[in-house]
Amino acid sequence: MPPANSVVIRPARNILGSLRVPGDKSISHRYAMLAALAPGRSRLENYSPGADCNSTLECMRALGCQITHDDKGAVIIDGIGPQLKAPAAPLDCGNSGSTMRMLSGIVAGQSFASELVGDESLSRRPMKRVMDPLRKMGAEIAATDDHAPLRILGTRLHGIDYVVPVASAQVKTCLLFAGLLADGQTTVEEPTRTRDHGELALRAFGAELTRTRNIVTIAGGQTLHPLEAFIPGDSSSAAFFLCAAAIFPESNLVIDGVLLNPTRSALLDVLAAMGSRTNMMRVEEQHGELVGTISLIPGIAKPVEIFGATTALLIDELPVLAAIAPYTAGIIVRDAGELRVKESDRLSAVTQNLQAMGAQVEQTADGWKITGGQKLHGAEIESFGDHRIAMAFAIAALRAEGETVINNAECTAISYPNFFADLEKVVER
């Protein structure tokens, strides 16, 4: 008997059919935070059902917003304006780095003090990257060794020009949210382009900002308006199914209503470089975000090397790409040191689990070298409490010989509570 909280994955023959994935996590967080700052009622349909986005809703509630669900399951947020209410207790960000980092920018601009806390994994993750620039804007922040809990004394912030040292959309968004609440203008320059949902969400709620290459500028003091939106399917959740389909030559997979934002769809380019054919259909724009249907005809005959700006754009998809790498013609990943400070050390977690399945993997300081054409066997997999590790190895397990047990698989609820059930819908055995 596998231990409680474990899931057994049996080998598959094929991936076949069509599905929709839950609402995008990155967009859900941003829309919920901006809805709180926009006086009036926002309605967010297809809001991410994951625990992370629920942490954001609970924090916005604790900051004085009324949040309910309507009979269609949409999230209704009664925004109160740029000045929120002082929370009665610490703001619990759970496992969510996005909640803690982006919300820091909002509470830094309030007239009260807040404490942001997180679970054990979040309390290990680096927060200096938001503390440094927010302090420059005038906030007082106390932390333990630059880690959560963060005690932020909000103030009237002033705009700054800031060059973000690490490529991080969370940091960029934190500073744009702080900039919205600040006096004057805030300019954020990032080393390479990261996902632009913060910029697009601010525009969707009525703010103006300018972008030139990797530089974004926002003027403080702008008033937001509420938003009615249907949140597109999460492209990082879709990635698991696309990678599953890619490793079975007879697969035929269609994913409807999925986010196709170019800063989130680098996986499609990598799969194409490996030899898969991806098609986008019925593409439309919703509040600045591209949404459509993707279909995939598999092909994995060519090796790929992922580095530089592409690594930054693919950061959440790298665990699953590495997990399928032994079945492909080989994958080399470089410049991915950031993976060490995600929900787990994802470079080590992937290496350890691939080795448990019998793969040859070379882990480098900032990536992996994984040769192709390997055969893996089922094994006991440790999720390390990290949702993307659990899901990545559910995919690797589909082409292994024998059964695989994913331990502590309940962590998939962080971004995708129905993941295993949805996987079964498209797996042919």
* Residues designated catalytic: 316
User: Judged by CB, which is closer to ligand S3P: 168, or 278?
Assistant: 168
Instruction: Compute the distance between CA of residue 107 and CA of residue 266 in angstroms, rounded to an integer.
Output: 33
Q: Contacting ligand S3P (CB under 6 A), which of 103, 169, 313, 320? A: 169
Closest distance to ligand S3P from the beta carbon of 347 (Å): 14
User: Judged by CB, which is closer to ligand S3P: 300, or 318?
Assistant: 318
Closest distance to ligand S3P from the beta carbon of 372 (Å): 26
User: Judged by CB, which is closer to ligand S3P: 237, or 407?
Assistant: 237
Secondary structure in 3-state letters for the chain: CCCCCCEEECCCCEEEEEEECCECHHHHHHHHHHHHHCCEEEEEECCCCCHHHHHHHHHHHHCCCEEEECCCCCEEEEECCCCCCCCCCCEECCCCHHHHHHHHHHHCCCCCEEEEECCCCHHHCCCHHHHHHHHHCCCEEEEECCEEEEEEECCCCECCEEECCCCCHHHHHHHHHHHHHCECEEEEECCCCCCCHHHHHHHHCCCCEEEECCEEEEECCCCCCCCEEECCECHHHHHHHHHHHHCCCCCEEEEEEEECCCCCCHHHHHHHHHCCEEEEEEEEEECCEEEEEEEEECCCCCCEEECHHHHHHCCCCHHHHHHHHHHCCEEEECCCHHHHHCCCCHHHHHHHHHHHCCCCEEEECCEEEEECCCCCECCEEECCCCHHHHHHHHHHHHCCECCEEEECHHHHHHCCCCHHHHHHHHEEC
Closest distance to ligand S3P from the beta carbon of 133 (Å): 14
Stretch that binds ligand S3P, among 167-175, 203-211, 255-263, 299-307 (CB under 6 A): 167-175
Question: Does 315 engage in binding with ligand S3P (CB under 6 A)?
Answer: yes
Question: Does 170 engage in binding with ligand S3P (CB under 6 A)?
Answer: yes
Stretch that binds ligand S3P, among 34-42, 140-148, 166-174, 274-282 (CB under 6 A): 166-174
By CB under 6 A, the count of residues binding ligand S3P is: 10
Question: Does 314 engage in binding with ligand S3P (CB under 6 A)?
Answer: no
Closest distance to ligand S3P from the beta carbon of 188 (Å): 12
Q: Contacting ligand S3P (CB under 6 A), which of 234, 316, 317, 410? A: 316
Closest distance to ligand S3P from the beta carbon of 415 (Å): 8
Question: Does 12 engage in binding with ligand S3P (CB under 6 A)?
Answer: no
Question: Does 48 engage in binding with ligand S3P (CB under 6 A)?
Answer: no
Question: Does 26 engage in binding with ligand S3P (CB under 6 A)?
Answer: yes
Cis-peptide into 149, omega within 30 deg: yes
Q: Contacting ligand S3P (CB under 6 A), which of 32, 162, 195, 411? A: 195
User: Judged by CB, which is closer to ligand S3P: 199, or 300?
Assistant: 199
Closest distance to ligand S3P from the beta carbon of 170 (Å): 3
Stretch that binds ligand S3P, among 168-176, 240-248, 266-274, 344-352 (CB under 6 A): 168-176
Cβ–Cβ under 8 Å, residues 416 and 50: yes
Closest distance to ligand S3P from the beta carbon of 312 (Å): 7
Question: Does 313 engage in binding with ligand S3P (CB under 6 A)?
Answer: no
64-103 residues near ligand S3P, rule: CB under 6 A: 98
CA–chain centroid gap for 54, Å, is 14
User: Judged by CB, which is closer to ligand S3P: 30, or 220?
Assistant: 30
Chain residues in the site for ligand S3P (CB under 6 A) = 26, 98, 168-170, 173, 195, 315-316, 338
